[in-house]
Amino acid sequence: MNVKAWISCAVAVIASGCFSGYRPDADSKSLRVRRGTFASDVVITGELRAARGEELAVPRLPQWQTSIKWIAQDGIETKKGDRIVELDNSTFSTNLDAKRQAVAQAEQQLQQKESEWKADTIDKQLDVERKRADYDKAKMDAAMPKEIVAERDYNDRQIKFKRAEVELAKAVDVLKSQRTSVKSDRDNLLLSLQKAQRELGIAERAIDELILRAPHDGIVVIRDHPWEGRRLQEGDSVFIGLPLAQFPEMSSLQVEADLPDVDDGRIGAGMPATIVLDAYPNMTFPGRVRAISAVAQESSRTSLRRAFRVIVALDRLDGARMRPGLSARVVVHAMRQPNALLVSRAAIDFSGKKPRVFRADGKLADVVLGACNAQDCVVKSGLNEGETLGHA
C-alpha cells in the first residue's frame, strides 16, 4: 500500500470516528439521568467477639505485678480443669522450702516443750501430794488434845502443822504457777506454729492459684494486651485483675468493629448491615448496628488514629463456622432510597460553589443534589429523567 492510501485511510477513520474501543452509545447511556435505587454503604472492619463469657484474670497476690510463664494457644478447645495460664511463681517457690522448714521446727519445738512441761508438771503434782500427806499427818498430830501429851510435844506438833500447811500452800502455788506458765508458753509456741503454717499455706495457695484452669469445656480466647494491640503471650508483665483469657458464650457472638473518626455520623444504631467473614468470603450474614461508642479512642498507644467502637448484632449464627477472633468486614447500609432520580458523578462539575452539569447541547446548568455515593448522586431538581449529559 502506498503513502497516499495510508493517508486516505487515516483521514477516513478519523472522520468516521470508528477507531477501536470508542463506544459513544455506551458513554452517553452511562451519563443519562435515570431512575434507580440509591444505596449509601459504609464499610468497616472488625472481628467476632462474645458479649458474655467466663473470664480468667490475674488473682489477688501479695505483690501487684507478675508475669506470664506459660499460656495456652488462642482458640483451642479445652476440657474442664485443663491448664490455661501459668503465672510466674518464683517469688513463692524460692521461699517455699524455708517456710516448710519453719513449720517443721515450730512443730518440733512444741513437741519437745510438751514433753518437758509434762515431766515438770508431774514432778510438781507429786510434790503437792507429798506435801498434802505431810500436812494431813501433821494435822492429825496437832489435833491431839493438850491434856494427854506433854506441853513440849504439843507445841512441836503445832509448829510442824503450821510448817506443813505453809509447805502445802507453797507446793500448790508452784503447781498453779507451773500450769499458768505452761499455758502461756504453749500459746506463744502455738501462735508461732500457726503463723508459720499460715505463711506456708499462703505460699502454697498462691502457687496453686497462679495456675489458671478451664472452668468448663469450651473454646478459650486469649485476651488482648492492654496497650500493644496483640494477644497476650509468654513473658508479658500483667497486674492483679487483668483479664487473661475468656471462655465465651457462643450464643452471644457479635461483631466489634472500628468506625474511623472521619466517618462520624455516617452510621447509627439500628441500621441494617451485611457481615462477611474473611475466612468465608462467599458467605454473608445479616445483622444490625446495635451500639456506637460515644467517644473515639486511639487504636493503640503509638497511633494517632482514633475510631468509634461499633457493636453489630448478628441476626443468624453459624455454630460450625463462627469462632471468636475471626476477622470480619461489615457493610452498613446507611441509606437506601428506591426510585430515586440518579446522575453519574462523572457528569457533575464540583469545582464551583454549586454543582453543575453539561447538558447535551454543551451548556452548563445548575443542579440541586441530595446524597452521593462513590458512583451516583440523587437529583433533587434541575434535571429530568432520561436526559443525556456530557462529561464534566
Residue carrying the nine cell digits 452471644: 252
Q: Which residues does 197 contact at the CB level (< 8 Å), separation at least 6?
A: 103, 106
pLDDT at residue 350 above 70?
yes
Residue carrying the nine cell digits 494457644: 73
pLDDT at residue 358 above 60?
yes
pLDDT confidence tier of residue 210, bands split at 50, 70 and 90 = confident
Helix H or strand E encompassing 354:
none
- Exposure string over 181-212, b if 16+ CB within 10 A, otherwise e: ebeeeeeebeebbeebeeebeebeebeeebeb
Alpha helices in the chain (DSSP H): 3-16, 24-30, 90-93, 96-142, 151-209
pLDDT at residue 373 above 90?
no
pLDDT at 90: 81
Among 373, 361, 371, 366, residue whose Cα is nearest residue 349? 366
Residues 299-314: tens digit of each pLDDT: 655 567 789 999 999 9
120 within 8 A of 112, measured Cβ to Cβ:
no
Higher local confidence (pLDDT), 150 or 2: 150
Q: Roughly how many angstroms between the first and final C-alpha of the chain, as a whole number?
A: 42
Q: What is the mean pLDDT of the chain?
A: 86
Min mean pLDDT across 13-17, 175-179, 222-226, 363-367 is at 13-17
> According to the per-residue pLDDT averaged within each range, which of 82-86, 205-209, 264-268 is highest?
82-86
pLDDT confidence tier of residue 130, bands split at 50, 70 and 90 = very high
3-state class (DSSP) for residue 224 = strand
Residues 181-197: tens digit of each pLDDT: 999 999 999 999 999 99
Residue carrying the nine cell digits 511463681: 89
Q: What residues are paired with 312 via a beta bridge?
A: 255, 289
Residues 256-302: tens digit of each pLDDT: 999 998 888 889 999 999 999 999 999 999 999 999 999 988 765 55
Residues 315-331: tens digit of each pLDDT: 999 988 998 889 999 99
- Residue type for position 326: L
Q: What is the mean pLDDT of residues 206-232?
A: 88
pLDDT at 255: 96
pLDDT above 70 as % of the chain: 91
pLDDT at 262: 87
pLDDT at 297: 85
- Residue type for position 388: T
Q: What is the mean pLDDT of residues 240-247?
A: 92
Taking CA atoms, 131 is separated from 40, 177, 281, in Å, by: 111, 17, 103
Min mean pLDDT across 10-14, 34-38, 207-211, 379-383 is at 10-14
pLDDT at 193: 93
Segments making up each domain of the chain, as ranges:
25-39+334-390, 53-85+210-248, 96-209
Q: What would you report as the CA-atom Rg of the chain, rounded to the nearest whole angstrom?
A: 48
State the pTM of this model.
Answer: 0.56
75 within 8 A of 325, measured Cβ to Cβ:
yes
Residues 18-29: tens digit of each pLDDT: 333 333 333 444
> According to the per-residue pLDDT averaged within each range, which of 148-157, 272-281, 361-370 is highest?
272-281
pLDDT at residue 60 above 80?
yes
DSSP letter string, 298-338: ESSTT---EEEEEEEEESS--TTT--TT-EEEEEEEEEEEE
For domain 53-85+210-248, say whether CATH 2.40.50.100 is its number: yes
The fold adopted by the segment(s) 25-39+334-390 is 2.40.420
